[in-house]
Chain A
Amino acid sequence: MENEKVRIGFYALTSCYGCQLQFAMMDEILHLLDKAEIECWFMVERDSDEDREVDIAFIEGSVSTQEEVELVKKIREKAKIVVAVGACATQGGVQSWGKDKELSELWKTVYGDAHVKFEPKMAEPVEKYIKVDYKLYGCPPEKKDFLYALGTFLVGSWPEDIDYPVCVECRLRGNPCILIEKGEPCLGPVTVAGCDARCPGFNVACIGCRGAVGYDVAWFDSLALEFKKKGLTKEEILERMKIFNAHNPKLEEMVNKIFEEGE
Chain B
Amino acid sequence: MYIPITVDHIARVEGKGGIEIVTSDEGVKEVKLNIIEGPRFFEAITIGKKLEEALAIYPRVCSFCSASHKLTALEAAEKAIGFTPRPEIQDLRELLYMGDTIESHALHLYLLVLPDYLGYSNPLAMVDKYKKEIEYAMALKNVGSKIMDYLGSRAIHQENVVLGGFGKLPTKAQFEELRRELKEALPLAEYTVELFSKLEQYEEVTDDEMVHMAVKPRNDVYGIYGDYIKVSDGFEFPVEDYKKHIVEKVVEHSFAKHSFYKGKPFMVGAISRIVNNADLLYGKAKELYTQYKDLLRYNNCFANNFAQAIELVYFIEKSIDIIDDTLAKWPVKERDEVELKDGFGVSITEAPRGLLVYALEVKDGRVNYADIITPTAMNLAIMERHVRMMAENHWQDDPERLKLLAEMTVRAYDPCISCSVHVVRL
Contacts and interface: CB of A to CB of B under 8 A. Distances in A.
A46 B115 contact: yes
Contacts of A91: none
Give the interface SS of chain B, mostly helix, strand, loop or mixed: loop
A97 B57 contact: yes
B60 A202 contact: no
A109 B145 contact: no
Contacts of A105: 44
Contacts of A172: none
A125 to B, nearest CB: 14
A112 B155 CA distance: 34
B14 A17 contact: yes
A204 B16 CA distance: 33
Interface in A109-132: 109-112, 114-118, 120-121, 123
B255 A30 contact: no
Contacts of A21: 14, 63-64, 107, 156
B121 A64 contact: no
A184 to B, nearest CB: 10
Given A118-B255, A202-B168, A112 B250 contact: yes
A263 B10 CA distance: 57
Contact of B153 (A24, A43, A202): A202
A123 B121 contact: no
Nearest to A115: B252
Contacts of B286: none
A139 B60 contact: yes
B66 interface: yes
Contacts of B36: 65, 67, 118
Interface size class of B (residues with CB under 8 A): 35 or more
A111 B38 contact: no
A44 interface: yes
B153 A198 contact: yes
Interface in B58-74: 60-64, 66
Interface stretch (A7-15, A160-168, A220-228): A7-15
Interface stretch (A75-83, A145-153, A235-243): A235-243
A101 B44 CA distance: 9
Contacts of A64: 38-40
Interface stretch (B157-165, B238-246, B295-303, B316-324): B157-165
Contact of A27 (B60, B123, B138, B155): B138
Contacts of B162: 204
A211 interface: no
Nearest to B56: A207
A33 interface: yes
Interface string B126-168: 0100000010001001100100000001111101101000111
B53 A239 contact: yes
Interface size class of A (residues with CB under 8 A): 35 or more
**Residue from A18, A121, A243 having most chain B Cβ neighbours under 10 A:** A18
Nearest to A21: B63
Contacts of A248: none
A13 B43 contact: no
A120 B418 contact: no
A98 B43 CA distance: 10
Contacts of B141: 25
A256 interface: no
Given A116-B255, A207-B159, A110 B56 contact: no
Given A33-B127, A45-B121, A120-B39, A95 B250 contact: no
Nearest to A99: B45
B425 A203 contact: no
B160 A116 contact: no
A68 B37 CA distance: 10
A105 B41 CA distance: 10
Contacts of A68: 38
A47 interface: yes
B341 interface: no
Contacts of A203: 167-168
B41 A15 contact: no
Interface of B: 9-16, 36-47, 49-50, 53, 56-57, 60-64, 66, 107, 111, 115, 121-124, 127, 134, 138, 141-142, 145, 153-157, 159-160, 162, 166-168, 250, 252-255, 407, 418-419, 422-426
Shortest beta-carbon contacts, A-B, top 8? A18-B63, A64-B38, A98-B45, A14-B38, A114-B250, A112-B426, A109-B44, A203-B167
Interface of A: 12-19, 21-22, 24-25, 27, 29-30, 33, 38, 41-48, 50, 61-62, 64-65, 67-68, 93-95, 97-98, 101, 105-107, 109-112, 114-118, 120-121, 123, 139-140, 198-199, 201-204, 207, 209, 236, 239-240, 243
